[in-house]
Structure 1
Amino acid sequence: MNDAAPLSAAAALATRIGKYRWRVCAMLLAATTINYVDRQVLGVLAPFLQDEIGWNEIEYGYIVTAFQAAYAIGLLCAGAVIDRLGTRIGYAIAIGVWSLAAMGHALAASVLGFAFARFMLGLGEAGNFPAAIKTVAEWFPRRERALAVGIFNAGSNIGAVLAPLLVPIVAAAWGWQAAFLCTGVLSVAWLVTWLLTYRTPEEQPKLSPAELAHIRSDPPEPTARLPWRRLLRHRQAWAFVAAKFITDPVWWLFLFWLGKFLASEYELSLAKIGPPMIVVYLMADVGSVAGGWLAGRLLKRGWNVNRARKGAMLACALCVAPVALVTQIDNLWLAVALIGLAMAGHQGWSANVFTLPSDMFPRHAVASVVGIGGFAGAVGGMAMSLFTGAQLESTGSYARVFLIAGIAYLLALLVVHLLVPRLQPARLEEKPHDV
């Protein structure tokens, strides 16, 4: 009886406040899922397109790097554009561009053709996370943001699960070109729904006054626009940039090289590569939500934002560390378990890292900070892709690559803690002394 009463009270409070903001979060989840289906198609088909198109490891590294270069450029611009245009129009433009680019892969027949298609895909997909993070900052109070980010970020794993589940079936039935074309239908459906339904909280007629008050329950924030040079004067911005630069390359590694690793190390065919990749990304999905949930749970237990966020990040970093040993394992499913644990750790880490800008910056600056950090992560990813391609071409071994992956998160957490020991908000209205 004692446990039921608090639960009933919590349910009644949630009912009074309303849940429309979670419908918005569901839209972000759907967009992120589509985003990752689009980008993961190549990762699933890579071992087999390599034979058909005739690229080597270094050339595949160039194709991956083309995506990351465009993603870096796009992220550097996307945050500022979305801050200026707003999430409704900015998000619509981004998904329109990446939908056309995803379908454009079907026309590619050479290394250069795939590199161009990947470049255009990267430009469009760069808008997803700045727009989604800004939407969360607009629709959720601070105490709910890590969970909301964790939920929509789970779409990256859902998309990565759907790709190895569906792509081999579509490719076997209608050819690899059809696998790229099919993603356009999902994108168009989401785009139409977004434009018809999305409004800011103040403009949304279906939002109750109680829920709007809940969303705006944090202290008032300044609204003046800030140039990047002012944002980059603050340690808080560099903490986010450093976290993304050090750890994003590991996610790029998993995303674009996992299929090749499993196919080469365990001699998996196109028909057999799907189940291990699905297990890995299902584990990552759990990690995404769990990482956001853990931070929120620690906050409810009375921890301050600094301890809760960094405590959750430490737990996630420790989950990634054992992946350094994966090249020493002969058993496929044990290797899948280690990689899945690492990817779960990354996604939980990411849910908390993506919340850092809204912890430390006002809403109007969040998308710009996320864009700058995403640029740094993509640059790090480019370096990792070139390094991985060169390593495989010269040694045929993933050992050094996975060693780097295993230590990256603990290093990143150390750097974040040194830059922002207390995770204090940036004082944007004053001349900064924290450079």
Structure 2
Amino acid sequence: MKVVKVIRTLRLLKLFRLLKSSRLLHRLEIPFALPYQQFALARFLSVLVIMCHWLACVWALTLQLVDLDYPQWIDDVEAVDASFGIRTRESTWRIYVASYYFCSYTMTSVGYGDFGPKNVLERVFCTFMVMVSGLCWAYILGEVCAIVADMNSDSQQFRKRMHQLNAMMRDQGLPHELRSRLRSFFLQNKHQLQYQTQLQLLDHMSPRLQAEVCRVITLTWIRKVPFFVQFLNLIQKMQAKGMQTTVFEACVADIARKLQSTAYAQGDSFTNVQVLHILTKGLVALGNKFGKTGSVWGEDFVLADQSLIHVVNCVAMSYCEVLYLTRDGLLAVVEARRNTCPELARIVRRYCIRIAVYRGILREARKRARMPSYRTRLAHFREGSKLQIVSCMSGAGSLLHASGVLETLLQLI
């Protein structure tokens, strides 16, 4: 009879099928954003509870495998309960609670010592339980410590950086005012470090997923750049016709990955020569206007002639975080995709020609306006010379004709 009970006890091994629940959890992770660290802690707590339950069931089973003539671990519990008129052996749930209590403090190495094994079978089982529970408890502690450390990895890295900064300032003897500014800059720079960490996730994505993620992330500012808007419109037209646009979306991903991030402290100044700037945090003065989060400037960064670029003197009015794209970075993407996506190169080239022609003619007009001969003619015109009036009218007609030709040229381009 006892052998039959032992065999029935071995059926508990079927509970190991619960380990297959990881497949179910994997399916849940796809549609829902499960917090991995917290979920892992809950999982280890569940494992601990289940292990204690299994051991408690086996520990209670020892009462059935030993004759009542021999001392048993329940005797000490029964003696305490008897003083209150409670019959422990006649209550199944009281036996289970006492058994679970014993197994839990044994497994967690607390060891209150309220009661223990009283016969050979119980001592053998306790020896086995101590060995198994010790290994399980050590494994759980190690995993929990690793999870907790991983949950605070960013904070630990930031504290380490701040410790290194304080040590550097102390060793170099920096003044107190400069130390305060440096600490303020680094404290506000935590967001940029998170952004750089997030960009590293793109390396583990497929090309198509990279394109989709980058397009969503950069969509707010990419629509503010004229030739990027033309390229996105081209993609939408091709998608409406049912054409394949994977290569075109990959171009957007390549451009987004060429973005670099930097930060400026309050009062820092910088320019935009052949650089496209995107303000992601803070407030900046752009000449006679202000730029807030999401502002984009320097759209003419693709021009090769720097004299045609409208230089904007930028001053950070507060702590600012900026994403920037250099001309060399954009042209590297254009050149790399010239064979697979020539449309991008054509759109960028047309934009450069339009801007260069327009600004080149305006620059030449301003240059001629400053010539001495022009000033002399203007003086004669003010004196009321009829010949000069006719000349100026002829020049005005030529200017109007040139303006019409310029407009026609820009439309053709």
Q: TM-score, normalised on structure 2? A: 0.23
Higher relative contact order (CA 8 A, sep 6+): 1
More helix, by proportion: 1
Larger radius of gyration: 2
More strand, by proportion: 2
